[in-house]
Structure 1
Amino acid sequence: MTTDYLIAQIHKKKSFLCIGLDVDLNKIPKHLLETDDPIFAFNKAIIDATHHLCVAYKPNTAFYEAYGLKGWQALEKTIHYLNTNHPEIYTIADAKRGDIGNTSTMYAKAFFEDLGFDSVTVAPYMGKDSVEPFLAFENKHTILLALTSNAGAFDFQTKSVDGVELYKQVLETSKSWKNSENLMYVVGATKAEYLADIRQIIPDSFLLVPGVGAQGGNLQEVCKYGMNDSVGLLINSSRGIIYASQQKDFAQAAANKAAELQQQMQAVLSK
Protein backbone atom coordinates (compact mmCIF):
# COMPACT_ATOMS: atom_id res chain seq x y z
CA MET A 1 0.00 0.00 0.00
CA THR A 2 1.30 3.45 -0.88
CA THR A 3 1.51 6.27 1.63
CA ASP A 4 -0.87 8.36 -0.48
CA TYR A 5 -3.50 5.61 -0.30
CA LEU A 6 -3.09 5.37 3.47
CA ILE A 7 -3.53 9.14 3.79
CA ALA A 8 -6.68 8.96 1.66
CA GLN A 9 -8.11 6.27 3.94
CA ILE A 10 -7.37 8.38 7.01
CA HIS A 11 -9.39 11.26 5.58
CA LYS A 12 -12.15 8.99 4.30
CA LYS A 13 -12.65 7.26 7.65
CA LYS A 14 -11.76 10.34 9.70
CA SER A 15 -9.51 8.08 11.73
CA PHE A 16 -5.83 7.31 12.15
CA LEU A 17 -6.50 4.46 14.55
CA CYS A 18 -4.48 1.25 14.47
CA ILE A 19 -5.81 -1.70 16.47
CA GLY A 20 -3.30 -4.13 17.90
CA LEU A 21 -4.32 -7.77 17.60
CA ASP A 22 -2.33 -9.18 20.53
CA VAL A 23 -4.26 -12.36 21.26
CA ASP A 24 -3.73 -14.01 24.64
CA LEU A 25 -5.84 -17.15 25.07
CA ASN A 26 -5.99 -16.44 28.81
CA LYS A 27 -7.81 -13.16 28.15
CA ILE A 28 -10.25 -13.92 25.33
CA PRO A 29 -13.88 -14.91 26.08
CA LYS A 30 -14.08 -18.50 27.30
CA HIS A 31 -16.71 -19.56 24.79
CA LEU A 32 -14.23 -19.01 21.95
CA LEU A 33 -11.93 -21.68 23.37
CA GLU A 34 -14.47 -24.25 22.17
CA THR A 35 -13.96 -23.26 18.51
CA ASP A 36 -11.51 -24.94 16.13
CA ASP A 37 -9.29 -21.84 15.97
CA PRO A 38 -9.93 -19.55 18.96
CA ILE A 39 -7.29 -17.00 17.91
CA PHE A 40 -8.73 -16.50 14.44
CA ALA A 41 -12.31 -16.57 15.76
CA PHE A 42 -11.41 -13.75 18.15
CA ASN A 43 -9.59 -11.72 15.47
CA LYS A 44 -12.36 -12.13 12.92
CA ALA A 45 -14.99 -10.93 15.38
CA ILE A 46 -12.87 -7.90 16.34
CA ILE A 47 -12.19 -7.06 12.68
CA ASP A 48 -15.83 -7.44 11.68
CA ALA A 49 -16.87 -5.08 14.49
CA THR A 50 -14.16 -2.41 14.11
CA HIS A 51 -12.85 -2.28 10.52
CA HIS A 52 -14.89 0.83 9.70
CA LEU A 53 -13.37 2.70 12.64
CA CYS A 54 -9.67 2.13 11.99
CA VAL A 55 -7.20 2.32 9.12
CA ALA A 56 -4.73 -0.31 10.33
CA TYR A 57 -4.35 -3.54 12.28
CA LYS A 58 -1.14 -4.59 13.99
CA PRO A 59 -0.74 -8.21 15.07
CA ASN A 60 2.22 -8.62 17.42
CA THR A 61 3.76 -11.83 16.10
CA ALA A 62 4.95 -12.97 19.54
CA PHE A 63 1.33 -13.60 20.51
CA TYR A 64 1.07 -16.06 17.60
CA GLU A 65 4.51 -17.64 17.74
CA ALA A 66 3.86 -18.50 21.40
CA TYR A 67 1.22 -21.03 20.27
CA GLY A 68 3.46 -22.78 17.76
CA LEU A 69 2.16 -23.93 14.40
CA LYS A 70 -1.49 -23.30 15.30
CA GLY A 71 -0.66 -19.73 16.28
CA TRP A 72 1.20 -19.08 13.03
CA GLN A 73 -1.68 -20.58 11.03
CA ALA A 74 -4.07 -18.25 12.87
CA LEU A 75 -1.87 -15.30 11.89
CA GLU A 76 -1.93 -16.46 8.26
CA LYS A 77 -5.71 -16.76 8.33
CA THR A 78 -6.04 -13.33 9.94
CA ILE A 79 -3.93 -11.50 7.36
CA HIS A 80 -5.60 -13.42 4.51
CA TYR A 81 -9.01 -12.44 5.87
CA LEU A 82 -7.98 -8.79 6.02
CA ASN A 83 -6.39 -8.71 2.57
CA THR A 84 -9.39 -10.48 1.01
CA ASN A 85 -12.25 -8.68 2.74
CA HIS A 86 -10.72 -5.33 3.69
CA PRO A 87 -7.87 -4.55 1.27
CA GLU A 88 -8.15 -0.87 2.19
CA ILE A 89 -6.80 -1.67 5.66
CA TYR A 90 -3.10 -1.09 6.30
CA THR A 91 -1.46 -4.10 7.94
CA ILE A 92 1.54 -4.08 10.26
CA ALA A 93 3.51 -7.15 11.32
CA ASP A 94 4.82 -6.12 14.72
CA ALA A 95 7.77 -8.51 14.58
CA LYS A 96 10.69 -6.25 15.61
CA ARG A 97 13.08 -8.11 13.35
CA GLY A 98 16.65 -7.08 12.59
CA ASP A 99 19.60 -9.21 11.51
CA ILE A 100 22.41 -9.34 8.93
CA GLY A 101 21.55 -8.79 5.29
CA ASN A 102 20.67 -12.28 4.02
CA THR A 103 18.61 -13.04 7.10
CA SER A 104 16.79 -9.73 6.87
CA THR A 105 15.95 -10.49 3.25
CA MET A 106 14.34 -13.76 4.33
CA TYR A 107 12.41 -12.03 7.11
CA ALA A 108 11.20 -9.45 4.61
CA LYS A 109 10.09 -12.11 2.14
CA ALA A 110 8.24 -13.94 4.92
CA PHE A 111 6.18 -10.92 5.95
CA PHE A 112 5.84 -9.05 2.65
CA GLU A 113 5.56 -11.88 0.11
CA ASP A 114 4.36 -14.98 1.94
CA LEU A 115 2.02 -13.37 4.46
CA GLY A 116 1.25 -10.20 2.48
CA PHE A 117 1.70 -7.55 5.16
CA ASP A 118 2.05 -3.90 4.15
CA SER A 119 4.74 -3.21 6.75
CA VAL A 120 6.92 -4.74 9.44
CA THR A 121 8.58 -3.32 12.54
CA VAL A 122 12.38 -3.56 12.55
CA ALA A 123 15.06 -2.91 15.17
CA PRO A 124 17.84 -0.54 13.98
CA TYR A 125 20.66 -1.68 16.28
CA MET A 126 22.58 -3.60 13.59
CA GLY A 127 22.49 -0.69 11.18
CA LYS A 128 22.05 -0.09 7.48
CA ASP A 129 22.71 -3.53 6.05
CA SER A 130 20.16 -5.07 8.41
CA VAL A 131 17.40 -2.63 7.40
CA GLU A 132 17.92 -1.94 3.70
CA PRO A 133 16.77 -5.46 2.65
CA PHE A 134 13.33 -4.58 4.03
CA LEU A 135 13.37 -1.19 2.29
CA ALA A 136 13.96 -2.81 -1.10
CA PHE A 137 10.34 -4.00 -1.39
CA GLU A 138 8.14 -1.69 -3.47
CA ASN A 139 5.03 -0.24 -1.81
CA LYS A 140 6.01 -1.85 1.50
CA HIS A 141 7.07 0.02 4.62
CA THR A 142 9.69 -0.66 7.25
CA ILE A 143 8.75 0.76 10.64
CA LEU A 144 11.94 1.47 12.54
CA LEU A 145 12.02 1.41 16.33
CA ALA A 146 13.05 4.94 17.26
CA LEU A 147 11.84 5.85 20.75
CA THR A 148 9.76 3.21 22.46
CA SER A 149 7.20 3.49 25.25
CA ASN A 150 8.72 1.03 27.73
CA ALA A 151 10.62 2.08 30.87
CA GLY A 152 13.83 0.53 29.55
CA ALA A 153 13.88 2.98 26.64
CA PHE A 154 15.92 5.26 28.90
CA ASP A 155 18.69 2.63 29.19
CA PHE A 156 20.01 3.42 25.71
CA GLN A 157 17.67 5.39 23.46
CA THR A 158 17.87 8.71 25.29
CA LYS A 159 21.55 8.48 26.24
CA SER A 160 23.73 11.14 24.66
CA VAL A 161 26.76 10.40 22.52
CA ASP A 162 28.76 13.54 21.69
CA GLY A 163 25.84 15.57 23.00
CA VAL A 164 23.20 13.95 20.78
CA GLU A 165 20.70 11.40 22.06
CA LEU A 166 20.96 7.96 20.47
CA TYR A 167 17.40 7.97 19.13
CA LYS A 168 18.12 11.22 17.28
CA GLN A 169 21.22 9.68 15.74
CA VAL A 170 19.12 6.71 14.60
CA LEU A 171 16.59 9.04 12.99
CA GLU A 172 19.21 11.17 11.27
CA THR A 173 21.32 8.25 10.03
CA SER A 174 18.35 6.30 8.71
CA LYS A 175 17.49 9.12 6.31
CA SER A 176 20.65 8.32 4.33
CA TRP A 177 19.75 4.66 3.75
CA LYS A 178 18.70 3.43 0.32
CA ASN A 179 14.91 3.67 -0.21
CA SER A 180 14.54 5.57 3.08
CA GLU A 181 11.29 7.02 1.72
CA ASN A 182 9.84 3.61 2.69
CA LEU A 183 10.62 4.20 6.36
CA MET A 184 8.15 4.86 9.13
CA TYR A 185 9.10 5.10 12.80
CA VAL A 186 7.86 3.82 16.16
CA VAL A 187 7.55 6.53 18.81
CA GLY A 188 5.81 5.62 22.06
CA ALA A 189 2.84 7.70 23.15
CA THR A 190 4.32 7.94 26.63
CA LYS A 191 7.19 9.93 25.06
CA ALA A 192 4.93 12.63 23.58
CA GLU A 193 7.15 15.43 24.86
CA TYR A 194 9.90 14.22 22.52
CA LEU A 195 7.76 14.47 19.40
CA ALA A 196 8.53 18.10 18.63
CA ASP A 197 12.26 17.31 18.40
CA ILE A 198 11.53 14.20 16.36
CA ARG A 199 9.50 16.21 13.86
CA GLN A 200 12.46 18.53 13.40
CA ILE A 201 14.44 15.55 12.08
CA ILE A 202 11.74 13.63 10.18
CA PRO A 203 8.98 16.15 9.45
CA ASP A 204 7.28 14.14 6.69
CA SER A 205 7.47 10.54 7.89
CA PHE A 206 4.63 8.51 9.36
CA LEU A 207 4.93 7.64 13.04
CA LEU A 208 3.43 4.52 14.56
CA VAL A 209 2.54 5.53 18.10
CA PRO A 210 1.73 2.72 20.55
CA GLY A 211 0.87 3.28 24.17
CA VAL A 212 -2.44 5.17 23.99
CA GLY A 213 -4.92 3.58 26.37
CA ALA A 214 -3.64 0.83 28.67
CA GLN A 215 -0.10 2.26 28.78
CA GLY A 216 -1.31 5.75 29.64
CA GLY A 217 -0.38 7.71 26.50
CA ASN A 218 -2.37 10.88 25.79
CA LEU A 219 -3.92 11.21 22.33
CA GLN A 220 -4.20 15.00 22.44
CA GLU A 221 -0.55 15.43 23.39
CA VAL A 222 0.59 13.08 20.65
CA CYS A 223 -1.43 14.96 18.04
CA LYS A 224 -0.28 18.36 19.30
CA TYR A 225 3.40 17.57 18.86
CA GLY A 226 3.42 14.75 16.33
CA MET A 227 0.89 15.53 13.60
CA ASN A 228 2.13 16.92 10.29
CA ASP A 229 0.40 18.27 7.16
CA SER A 230 -0.40 14.71 6.01
CA VAL A 231 -1.53 13.66 9.51
CA GLY A 232 1.54 11.42 9.68
CA LEU A 233 0.32 9.38 12.64
CA LEU A 234 -0.97 5.89 13.25
CA ILE A 235 -2.12 5.72 16.87
CA ASN A 236 -2.20 2.16 18.16
CA SER A 237 -4.37 0.78 20.93
CA SER A 238 -4.37 -2.92 21.71
CA ARG A 239 -5.52 -4.12 25.13
CA GLY A 240 -7.72 -1.06 25.70
CA ILE A 241 -9.85 -2.07 22.73
CA ILE A 242 -9.70 -5.82 22.20
CA TYR A 243 -10.10 -6.74 25.88
CA ALA A 244 -12.85 -4.25 26.68
CA SER A 245 -15.01 -7.24 27.60
CA GLN A 246 -14.45 -10.96 28.17
CA GLN A 247 -18.12 -11.75 27.71
CA LYS A 248 -20.04 -12.68 24.58
CA ASP A 249 -20.43 -8.98 23.80
CA PHE A 250 -16.64 -8.59 23.46
CA ALA A 251 -16.71 -7.52 19.81
CA GLN A 252 -19.32 -4.81 20.40
CA ALA A 253 -17.44 -3.65 23.48
CA ALA A 254 -14.28 -3.39 21.37
CA ALA A 255 -16.18 -1.42 18.73
CA ASN A 256 -17.43 0.98 21.41
CA LYS A 257 -13.89 1.63 22.64
CA ALA A 258 -12.61 2.03 19.09
CA ALA A 259 -15.43 4.45 18.32
CA GLU A 260 -14.45 6.60 21.31
CA LEU A 261 -10.92 6.99 19.91
CA GLN A 262 -12.16 7.47 16.35
CA GLN A 263 -14.46 10.28 17.45
CA GLN A 264 -11.59 11.99 19.25
CA MET A 265 -9.50 11.65 16.09
CA GLN A 266 -12.31 13.03 13.95
CA ALA A 267 -12.45 16.07 16.23
CA VAL A 268 -8.70 16.58 15.80
CA LEU A 269 -8.91 16.23 12.02
CA SER A 270 -11.82 18.68 11.81
CA LYS A 271 -9.55 21.38 13.22
Structure 2
Amino acid sequence: MNQSELFSQIQQKSSFLCVGLDPDLEKIPRHLLSEKDPIFSFCKAIIEETADFAVAYKPNIAFFEALGAKGWETLAKVSELIPKDIFTIADAKRGDIGNTSKLYAKAFFESMDFDSVTVAPYMGKDSVSPFLEFENKWVILLALTSNPGSMDFQLIEDKAGKPLYQSVLEKSQEWGSPQNLMYVVGATRGELIGEVRKIAPDHFFLVPGVGAQGGSLSEVAKFGMNSSCGLLVNSSRGIIYASSERDFAQVARKEAEKLQLEMRELLEKYL
Protein backbone atom coordinates (compact mmCIF):
# COMPACT_ATOMS: atom_id res chain seq x y z
CA MET A 1 0.00 0.00 0.00
CA ASN A 2 1.44 3.37 -1.01
CA GLN A 3 1.04 6.72 0.73
CA SER A 4 -1.82 7.97 -1.44
CA GLU A 5 -3.77 4.73 -0.91
CA LEU A 6 -3.28 5.01 2.83
CA PHE A 7 -4.46 8.62 2.85
CA SER A 8 -7.45 7.61 0.75
CA GLN A 9 -8.45 5.09 3.44
CA ILE A 10 -8.09 7.77 6.10
CA GLN A 11 -10.37 10.07 4.12
CA GLN A 12 -12.96 7.39 3.39
CA LYS A 13 -13.24 6.29 7.02
CA SER A 14 -12.58 9.70 8.60
CA SER A 15 -10.17 7.82 10.80
CA PHE A 16 -6.47 7.38 11.43
CA LEU A 17 -6.97 4.58 13.95
CA CYS A 18 -4.56 1.67 14.20
CA VAL A 19 -5.80 -1.20 16.37
CA GLY A 20 -2.99 -3.03 18.11
CA LEU A 21 -3.42 -6.79 18.35
CA ASP A 22 -1.66 -7.84 21.57
CA PRO A 23 -3.38 -11.17 22.33
CA ASP A 24 -2.25 -12.31 25.77
CA LEU A 25 -3.58 -15.69 26.93
CA GLU A 26 -3.65 -14.35 30.49
CA LYS A 27 -5.85 -11.39 29.52
CA ILE A 28 -8.24 -12.60 26.86
CA PRO A 29 -11.75 -13.54 28.03
CA ARG A 30 -11.73 -16.84 29.89
CA HIS A 31 -14.48 -18.41 27.81
CA LEU A 32 -12.19 -18.37 24.76
CA LEU A 33 -9.69 -20.72 26.39
CA SER A 34 -11.88 -23.67 25.46
CA GLU A 35 -11.49 -22.82 21.77
CA LYS A 36 -9.10 -24.82 19.57
CA ASP A 37 -7.07 -21.65 18.94
CA PRO A 38 -8.02 -19.02 21.57
CA ILE A 39 -5.71 -16.34 20.19
CA PHE A 40 -7.15 -16.68 16.69
CA SER A 41 -10.71 -16.57 17.99
CA PHE A 42 -9.93 -13.46 20.01
CA CYS A 43 -8.27 -11.60 17.14
CA LYS A 44 -10.95 -12.66 14.68
CA ALA A 45 -13.71 -11.21 16.85
CA ILE A 46 -11.76 -7.96 17.40
CA ILE A 47 -11.05 -7.51 13.69
CA GLU A 48 -14.63 -8.23 12.64
CA GLU A 49 -16.01 -5.67 15.08
CA THR A 50 -13.47 -2.87 14.57
CA ALA A 51 -12.69 -3.01 10.83
CA ASP A 52 -15.27 -0.30 10.11
CA PHE A 53 -13.22 2.21 12.10
CA ALA A 54 -9.60 1.08 11.66
CA VAL A 55 -7.28 2.00 8.81
CA ALA A 56 -4.49 -0.19 10.21
CA TYR A 57 -3.91 -3.25 12.36
CA LYS A 58 -0.67 -3.85 14.25
CA PRO A 59 -0.11 -7.41 15.44
CA ASN A 60 2.56 -7.39 18.13
CA ILE A 61 4.70 -10.30 16.97
CA ALA A 62 5.95 -11.17 20.47
CA PHE A 63 2.49 -12.32 21.57
CA PHE A 64 2.45 -14.81 18.72
CA GLU A 65 6.04 -16.04 18.63
CA ALA A 66 5.95 -16.68 22.38
CA LEU A 67 3.62 -19.59 21.54
CA GLY A 68 6.18 -21.27 19.29
CA ALA A 69 5.32 -22.80 15.93
CA LYS A 70 1.59 -22.67 16.65
CA GLY A 71 1.85 -18.95 17.32
CA TRP A 72 3.36 -18.35 13.87
CA GLU A 73 0.53 -20.39 12.33
CA THR A 74 -1.98 -18.26 14.23
CA LEU A 75 -0.29 -15.05 13.08
CA ALA A 76 -0.57 -16.18 9.46
CA LYS A 77 -4.28 -16.90 9.90
CA VAL A 78 -4.87 -13.57 11.64
CA SER A 79 -3.07 -11.61 8.93
CA GLU A 80 -5.26 -13.32 6.30
CA LEU A 81 -8.35 -12.09 8.14
CA ILE A 82 -7.45 -8.42 7.84
CA PRO A 83 -9.25 -6.79 4.89
CA LYS A 84 -6.87 -6.09 2.02
CA ASP A 85 -7.63 -2.36 2.00
CA ILE A 86 -6.45 -1.99 5.62
CA PHE A 87 -2.79 -1.25 6.30
CA THR A 88 -0.91 -3.97 8.20
CA ILE A 89 2.00 -3.48 10.56
CA ALA A 90 4.24 -6.28 11.81
CA ASP A 91 5.33 -4.87 15.16
CA ALA A 92 8.53 -6.89 15.32
CA LYS A 93 11.19 -4.22 15.99
CA ARG A 94 13.77 -6.03 13.91
CA GLY A 95 17.16 -4.68 12.86
CA ASP A 96 20.39 -6.65 12.42
CA ILE A 97 23.38 -6.91 10.09
CA GLY A 98 22.45 -6.56 6.44
CA ASN A 99 22.09 -10.18 5.34
CA THR A 100 20.00 -10.97 8.42
CA SER A 101 17.79 -7.92 7.94
CA LYS A 102 17.23 -9.01 4.33
CA LEU A 103 15.81 -12.31 5.57
CA TYR A 104 13.65 -10.58 8.19
CA ALA A 105 12.31 -8.39 5.39
CA LYS A 106 11.54 -11.41 3.20
CA ALA A 107 9.76 -13.07 6.12
CA PHE A 108 7.41 -10.19 6.83
CA PHE A 109 7.02 -8.73 3.33
CA GLU A 110 7.03 -11.85 1.15
CA SER A 111 6.10 -14.82 3.30
CA MET A 112 3.49 -12.98 5.39
CA ASP A 113 2.75 -10.03 3.08
CA PHE A 114 2.63 -7.32 5.74
CA ASP A 115 2.61 -3.75 4.47
CA SER A 116 5.16 -2.61 7.02
CA VAL A 117 7.45 -3.68 9.82
CA THR A 118 8.84 -1.79 12.81
CA VAL A 119 12.64 -1.56 12.77
CA ALA A 120 15.22 -0.51 15.35
CA PRO A 121 17.81 1.97 13.97
CA TYR A 122 20.67 1.38 16.41
CA MET A 123 22.83 -0.62 13.96
CA GLY A 124 22.52 2.00 11.24
CA LYS A 125 21.92 2.12 7.50
CA ASP A 126 22.95 -1.40 6.49
CA SER A 127 20.52 -2.87 9.03
CA VAL A 128 17.60 -0.79 7.72
CA SER A 129 18.18 -0.57 3.96
CA PRO A 130 17.20 -4.19 3.16
CA PHE A 131 13.67 -3.45 4.39
CA LEU A 132 13.47 -0.40 2.11
CA GLU A 133 14.15 -2.38 -1.06
CA PHE A 134 10.60 -3.78 -1.30
CA GLU A 135 8.13 -1.87 -3.48
CA ASN A 136 5.04 -0.51 -1.69
CA LYS A 137 6.36 -1.77 1.64
CA TRP A 138 7.28 0.39 4.60
CA VAL A 139 9.85 0.65 7.35
CA ILE A 140 8.48 2.14 10.57
CA LEU A 141 11.62 3.29 12.33
CA LEU A 142 11.80 3.75 16.09
CA ALA A 143 12.44 7.43 16.69
CA LEU A 144 10.95 8.74 19.93
CA THR A 145 9.22 6.10 22.01
CA SER A 146 6.91 6.42 25.00
CA ASN A 147 8.42 3.86 27.38
CA PRO A 148 10.20 5.14 30.54
CA GLY A 149 13.57 3.79 29.41
CA SER A 150 13.47 5.84 26.22
CA MET A 151 15.21 8.62 28.11
CA ASP A 152 18.25 6.39 28.65
CA PHE A 153 19.45 7.06 25.09
CA GLN A 154 16.95 8.91 22.89
CA LEU A 155 17.21 12.25 24.68
CA ILE A 156 20.99 12.21 25.19
CA GLU A 157 22.43 15.36 23.61
CA ASP A 158 25.60 15.67 21.56
CA LYS A 159 28.12 18.52 21.98
CA ALA A 160 25.90 20.81 19.93
CA GLY A 161 22.89 20.07 22.15
CA LYS A 162 21.08 17.89 19.61
CA PRO A 163 19.19 14.92 21.12
CA LEU A 164 19.97 11.49 19.66
CA TYR A 165 16.42 10.98 18.37
CA GLN A 166 16.80 14.07 16.18
CA SER A 167 20.02 12.67 14.68
CA VAL A 168 18.18 9.42 13.94
CA LEU A 169 15.40 11.34 12.18
CA GLU A 170 17.78 13.43 10.11
CA LYS A 171 20.16 10.64 9.11
CA SER A 172 17.48 8.08 8.28
CA GLN A 173 15.84 10.42 5.78
CA GLU A 174 18.93 9.87 3.63
CA TRP A 175 17.97 6.17 3.40
CA GLY A 176 14.27 6.34 2.59
CA SER A 177 11.50 8.74 1.63
CA PRO A 178 8.00 9.66 2.85
CA GLN A 179 6.80 6.93 0.47
CA ASN A 180 8.46 4.06 2.33
CA LEU A 181 9.62 5.34 5.71
CA MET A 182 7.53 6.13 8.77
CA TYR A 183 8.54 6.87 12.34
CA VAL A 184 7.37 5.65 15.74
CA VAL A 185 6.63 8.72 17.87
CA GLY A 186 5.10 8.15 21.29
CA ALA A 187 1.92 10.02 22.22
CA THR A 188 3.06 10.53 25.79
CA ARG A 189 5.77 12.86 24.49
CA GLY A 190 3.17 15.38 23.28
CA GLU A 191 5.45 18.35 23.73
CA LEU A 192 8.04 16.79 21.41
CA ILE A 193 5.78 15.59 18.59
CA GLY A 194 5.90 19.06 17.09
CA GLU A 195 9.70 18.97 17.12
CA VAL A 196 9.65 15.63 15.28
CA ARG A 197 7.20 17.03 12.72
CA LYS A 198 9.54 19.94 11.99
CA ILE A 199 12.31 17.50 11.12
CA ALA A 200 10.09 15.06 9.19
CA PRO A 201 7.30 17.23 7.73
CA ASP A 202 6.04 14.77 5.13
CA HIS A 203 6.41 11.39 6.81
CA PHE A 204 3.73 9.34 8.49
CA PHE A 205 4.08 8.72 12.23
CA LEU A 206 2.92 5.61 14.04
CA VAL A 207 1.84 6.96 17.41
CA PRO A 208 1.42 4.53 20.32
CA GLY A 209 0.48 5.62 23.81
CA VAL A 210 -3.05 6.96 23.35
CA GLY A 211 -5.56 5.43 25.73
CA ALA A 212 -4.22 3.10 28.41
CA GLN A 213 -0.82 4.87 28.42
CA GLY A 214 -2.37 8.30 28.87
CA GLY A 215 -1.47 10.06 25.62
CA SER A 216 -3.76 12.82 24.37
CA LEU A 217 -5.24 12.32 20.90
CA SER A 218 -6.00 16.04 20.53
CA GLU A 219 -2.38 16.95 21.35
CA VAL A 220 -1.07 14.36 18.90
CA ALA A 221 -3.23 15.85 16.13
CA LYS A 222 -2.38 19.44 17.06
CA PHE A 223 1.37 18.90 16.89
CA GLY A 224 1.67 15.98 14.49
CA MET A 225 -0.91 16.23 11.71
CA ASN A 226 0.19 17.32 8.24
CA SER A 227 -1.65 17.90 4.95
CA SER A 228 -2.10 14.16 4.34
CA CYS A 229 -2.92 13.49 8.01
CA GLY A 230 0.48 11.85 8.51
CA LEU A 231 -0.67 9.94 11.58
CA LEU A 232 -1.57 6.38 12.48
CA VAL A 233 -2.60 6.49 16.12
CA ASN A 234 -2.46 3.10 17.79
CA SER A 235 -4.67 1.87 20.59
CA SER A 236 -4.23 -1.66 21.89
CA ARG A 237 -5.31 -2.33 25.46
CA GLY A 238 -7.86 0.47 25.49
CA ILE A 239 -9.79 -1.30 22.75
CA ILE A 240 -9.07 -5.02 22.81
CA TYR A 241 -9.24 -5.39 26.61
CA ALA A 242 -12.07 -2.95 27.25
CA SER A 243 -14.12 -5.94 28.43
CA SER A 244 -13.19 -9.42 29.61
CA GLU A 245 -16.73 -10.73 29.27
CA ARG A 246 -18.50 -12.47 26.40
CA ASP A 247 -19.35 -9.08 24.93
CA PHE A 248 -15.65 -8.16 24.62
CA ALA A 249 -15.76 -7.69 20.85
CA GLN A 250 -18.86 -5.49 20.95
CA VAL A 251 -17.31 -3.35 23.69
CA ALA A 252 -14.10 -3.12 21.63
CA ARG A 253 -16.21 -1.86 18.74
CA LYS A 254 -17.69 0.89 20.91
CA GLU A 255 -14.24 2.00 22.06
CA ALA A 256 -12.94 2.03 18.48
CA GLU A 257 -15.94 4.05 17.38
CA LYS A 258 -15.35 6.59 20.16
CA LEU A 259 -11.83 7.18 18.92
CA GLN A 260 -12.95 7.32 15.30
CA LEU A 261 -15.54 9.99 16.09
CA GLU A 262 -12.90 12.09 17.82
CA MET A 263 -10.58 11.55 14.87
CA ARG A 264 -13.29 12.69 12.47
CA GLU A 265 -13.53 15.99 14.33
CA LEU A 266 -9.75 16.43 14.34
CA LEU A 267 -9.50 15.72 10.62
CA GLU A 268 -12.19 18.30 9.93
CA LYS A 269 -10.35 20.77 12.12
CA TYR A 270 -6.84 20.40 10.73
CA LEU A 271 -7.26 19.25 7.10
Which range, TM-score by smaller chain?
over 0.9
Distance 1:214 1:178, change over 3 A: closer
Could you tell me which of 221, 235, 238 is aligned with 1:237? 235
Which residue in the other structure is 1:256 paired with?
254
Which residue in the other structure is 1:45 paired with?
45
Q: Distance in 1 between matches of 2:89 and 2:117?
A: 5
1:40-72: CA deviations, max 9, x gaps? 110000000000111000011001111111111
User: Could you tell me how far 1:178 is from its partner in structure 2?
Assistant: 5.0
CA RMSD in angstroms comes to 0.9
Q: Distance in 2 between matches of 1:39 and 1:237?
A: 18
Secondary structure at the residue paired with 1:144? Answer: strand
Give the number of equivalent residue pairs.
Answer: 268
Which residue in the other structure is 1:137 paired with?
134
User: Could you tell me how far 1:181 is from its partner in structure 2?
Assistant: 3.8
Q: Distance in 2 between matches of 1:28 and 1:226?
A: 33
Output the amino acid matched with 2:52.
H
Secondary structure at the residue paired with 2:117? Answer: strand
Runs of 4+ deviating beyond 2 Å: 178-181
Alignment of 1:145-164 (within 5 A): 145-162=142-159, 163-164=161-162
Which residue in the other structure is 2:116 paired with?
119
Output the amino acid matched with 1:155.
D
Which residue in the other structure is 1:30 paired with?
30
Output the amino acid matched with 1:116.
D
- Are 1:196 and 1:226, in contact at CA under 8 Å, matched by a contact in 2? yes
Output the amino acid matched with 1:99.
D
Which residue in the other structure is 2:203 paired with?
205
Which residue in the other structure is 1:128 paired with?
125
- Are 1:135 and 1:180, in contact at CA under 8 Å, matched by a contact in 2? no
Q: Distance in 1 between matches of 2:201 and 2:178?
A: 14
Q: Distance in 2 between matches of 1:159 and 1:270?
A: 37
Q: State yes or no: 1:267 paired with 2:268.
A: no
Distance 1:179 1:221, change over 3 A: closer
Q: Distance in 2 between matches of 1:178 and 1:205?
A: 10
Q: Distance in 2 between matches of 1:173 and 1:200?
A: 14
Q: Distance in 2 between matches of 1:269 and 1:179?
A: 24
1:62-113: CA deviations, max 9, x gaps? 011111111111101000121xxx1110000000000000000000000000
Q: Distance in 2 between matches of 1:4 and 1:111?
A: 22
Which residue in the other structure is 2:183 paired with?
185
Question: Could you list the runs of 5+ residues in structure 2 that have no partner in the other structure?
Answer: none
- Are 1:15 and 1:55, in contact at CA under 8 Å, matched by a contact in 2? yes
Q: Distance in 2 between matches of 1:152 and 1:185?
A: 18
Q: Distance in 1 between matches of 2:163 and 2:180?
A: 24
Output the amino acid matched with 1:95.
A
Question: Could you list the runs of 5+ residues in structure 1 that have no partner in the other structure?
Answer: none
Output the amino acid matched with 1:216.
G
Q: Distance in 2 between matches of 1:215 and 1:109?
A: 32
Which residue in the other structure is 2:71 paired with?
71
Output the amino acid matched with 2:174.
S
Secondary structure at the residue paired with 2:84? Answer: coil
- Are 2:3 and 2:179, in contact at CA under 8 Å, matched by a contact in 1? no
Q: State yes or no: 1:9 paired with 2:9.
A: yes
- Are 2:194 and 2:224, in contact at CA under 8 Å, matched by a contact in 1? yes
- Are 1:174 and 1:180, in contact at CA under 8 Å, matched by a contact in 2? no
Q: Distance in 2 between matches of 1:81 and 1:114?
A: 15
Secondary structure at the residue paired with 1:120? Answer: strand
Could you tell me which of 98, 102, 110 is aligned with 1:105? 102
Normalising by structure 2, what TM-score?
0.97
Output the amino acid matched with 2:168.
V
1:183-239: CA deviations, max 9, x gaps? 100000001110111111100000000000010000000000000010000000000
Normalising by structure 1, what TM-score?
0.97
- Are 2:205 and 2:231, in contact at CA under 8 Å, matched by a contact in 1? yes
- Are 1:208 and 1:234, in contact at CA under 8 Å, matched by a contact in 2? yes
Identical aligned residues as a percent? 62
Output the amino acid matched with 2:90.
A
